Structure 1
Amino acid sequence: MSYDSESSNPDSRSRRGRRRALVTLAALAPAVLAGWLVWQAMGSTGGQDDKPPKVLPLPSHGARSSLPGADTATLTASGTPRSASPTPPQGGTGTGPLAGKTVVIDPGHNPNNFRHTQEINEPVNIGTNEKECDTTGTETNDGYTEAEFTLDVSHRIRAILEKQGAKVIFTQNGDRTFGPCVDERARIGNQAKADAVVSVHADGAAQGQRGFHVILPAKVKGGAADTAPIVGPSRELGVRIAGKFVQDTGMNASNYVGDGTALDIRSDLGGLNLSTVPKVFIECGNMRDSRDSALLKSADWHQKAAQGIADGITAFLGG
């Protein structure tokens, strides 16, 4: 999703300024930060007293352009990556380390949203204020859409988690005329009593702005929104996903959001504000940057991204 205007809002900037521990980490060398993220993902609780350990070996910043699959994606005739496999039925196998766990995957936007701009522009209540039902999402400069990307990666995440025994529910599978709206997306996770919810996205920022970031819920209260119970577990979920994402993809933390930490706290997203279960968003990269978009269009890299997200969820759930 493109948040060019929202990501620079005063609330987000002030909250980032108060996150002293993360700002301190942002001042470290990129390799140290990456090592910290991996360490967190491997088992730290993410407490404020945690200190980064010895740096773990990770790909350098320049290694992303040479990741396997960056130039070898299997594409459809329209130029989009093929899905990892035919869409399987929902529901886990009942065996494996995640047996008994329910995970909701929220593929950002909907491929049909652009046909229903009036409907998706209708405001919905997100607790603290009103916001549009949904948006069309962004796309690469050659027209590969975020909605296509999020569905493909989400299918791959589901396949990985179901093999571990999790029950996986989608908020949408490209089978709706539009949406669902952001309040309904939150409601799906709440009603499922999900152990974790992850909303999959890609950003639409300027050329040269690169990398991924994970969006965490701020502590907000108003109307139907009260995130106090989920702020802590959502942060742990986000930190673990960020660490595994670095480890599995080699992607660097965003150089334009999150002060170099790969973590950003937001109070203006209905999907987070209205959630009553641990939930985060992940922006897997910038579709408008030529180097990031080469990865975001790669079927091989989609699998790496899905593995990183799934591994982070598994680590959070103790699998």
Structure 2
Amino acid sequence: MSYIGPDFDPPRPPRRFRRGPLTVAVAALVPGALVGWLVWQTVGDPDGGGGSNGSVAQSPNTPAPDKPSSRTTPGTEDADKPAKPAKPSPSPSGSSTSRPAASGPLKGKVVVIDPGHNPGNFRHTTEINRQVDIGTNSKECDTTGTSTNDGYPEARFTLDVSHRLRALLEKQGATVKFTQDGDRPWGPCVDERARIGNKAKADAVVSIHADGSGAGNRGFHLILPGAVNEGEADTRPIVAPSRELGERIAGNLVSATGSAPSNYIGDGTGLDVRTDLGGLNLSTVPKVFVECGNMRDSKDAALLTSGAWRQKAARGISAGIVSFLRG
């Protein structure tokens, strides 16, 4: 494969040399140099041959990282994608839990990440449309979620951000549990999502989403539980800590991404209180929803489909969780 770039020199006509003593000496040195180079390549440097971030340059024959489907906006590759953590152990509910870290400021803390929707929901409309009890009333089990105008689905976005967030939290020593990791054909329903966090006795639960509002509506917002005491729902003990969790995430999202809070929800605060969401109503532990942006606005969509921006969002959410859990 040829390469033409700023350092490219066109080939020159070959020159013929008479074989002399110097030529013979150089030829004798080549095998030894080649062996040394091969040993160096095998052992490598302590950083795996990469720069400060540990990345490794790809050769022309190295497979490229996973990229969005053909329907996704061009240029939306998963830039700055973190290395996959060790395979988590499955739980009875079908979700996954990371192994507790040996050390870190969040050692002993449990964080449940709830990637909104499921990539397979659209194949199971009957199942996700059935009604479940959310305390105040009944609601659909789940939905398919939204997408950008170019077809990048919310369910794919939420899993990507959740994976990045898990890697960051595990480095802080937290034990991280997912409600789903694309490891089940559909769901779970909103009531089961809440029960997963409750059963884990989570110190914090964060549900990752993206909105599907009209064009021109921009920015992130967080949905916080309002006071509910009806049926199986009693959010009164978690209203205050959930608000604190939401405020800390919101502040860190601004710092990490440079994005502003929503211009259409929350009166500029980026905070929205609701009592109609089963995932919040049925929670007995601090929980918030993070709507990272509006997928239906072209400017927000350009951010949401950027791997580099998703990494910044994960850093902001992680920093907010760490701040909340450390007090």
Instruction: Name the counterpart of 2:60.
Output: none
Whether the aligned pair in 2 keeps the contact of 1:94 and 1:166 (CA below 8 Å) is no
Q: Deviations over 1:180-235 (max 9, x none)?
A: 00000000000000000000000000000000000000000111100000000000
How far has the Cα of 1:75 moved from its partner? 6.4
1:171 partner letter = T
Q: Does 2:289 align with 1:281?
A: yes
1:285 is paired with a residue whose SS is: strand
How far has the Cα of 1:259 moved from its partner? 1.1
Decide which of 153, 156, 163 is 2:171's aligned counterpart: 163
- Aligned residue pairs: how many? 246
1:6-85, aligned counterparts within 5 Å? 76=67, 78=69, 79=72, 81-82=77-78, 83-85=81-83
Q: Does 2:193 align with 1:195?
A: no
Q: Deviations over 1:278-307 (max 9, x none)?
A: 000000000000000000000000100000
2:114 is paired with a residue whose SS is: strand
TM-score (normalised: structure 1) = 0.75
1:76 partner letter = K
Whether the aligned pair in 1 keeps the contact of 2:68 and 2:77 (CA below 8 Å) is no
Inter-partner Cα distance in structure 2 for 1:94 and 1:224: 37
Decide which of 99, 120, 136 is 1:112's aligned counterpart: 120
Instruction: Name the counterpart of 1:6.
Output: none
Q: Does 2:312 align with 1:304?
A: yes
Q: Does 2:158 align with 1:150?
A: yes
Q: Does 2:244 align with 1:236?
A: yes
Q: Deviations over 1:79-120 (max 9, x none)?
A: 464353325332231310000000000000000000001110
Whether the aligned pair in 2 keeps the contact of 1:241 and 1:312 (CA below 8 Å) is yes
For CA contacts below 8 A with separation 6 or more, give which structure has more relative contact order.
Answer: 1
2:110 partner letter = T
Inter-partner Cα distance in structure 2 for 1:207 and 1:247: 24
Whether the aligned pair in 2 keeps the contact of 1:84 and 1:152 (CA below 8 Å) is no
Runs of at least 5 residues in structure 2 that lack an aligned partner in the other structure: 1-64, 89-97
Taking structure 1 as reference, are residues 110 and 87 closer, same or farther at Cα in structure 2, changes over 3 Å only? farther
2:203 partner letter = D
Sequence identity, in percent?
A: 69
Greater helix share, structure number: 1
Instruction: Name the counterpart of 2:84.
Output: 86
Runs of at least 5 residues in structure 1 that lack an aligned partner in the other structure: 1-73
Inter-partner Cα distance in structure 2 for 1:87 and 1:154: 12
Instruction: Name the counterpart of 2:35.
Output: none
Inter-partner Cα distance in structure 1 for 2:77 and 2:198: 31
Decide which of 297, 319, 323 is 1:315's aligned counterpart: 323
Moved over 2 A (4+): 79-89
Q: Which has the larger radius of gyration?
A: 2
TM-score (normalised: structure 2) = 0.73
Instruction: Name the counterpart of 2:254.
Output: 246
Q: Deviations over 1:6-40 (max 9, x none)?
A: xxxxxxxxxxxxxxxxxxxxxxxxxxxxxxxxxxx
Instruction: Name the counterpart of 1:99.
Output: 107
Decide which of 260, 263, 266 is 2:268's aligned counterpart: 260
1:105 is paired with a residue whose SS is: strand
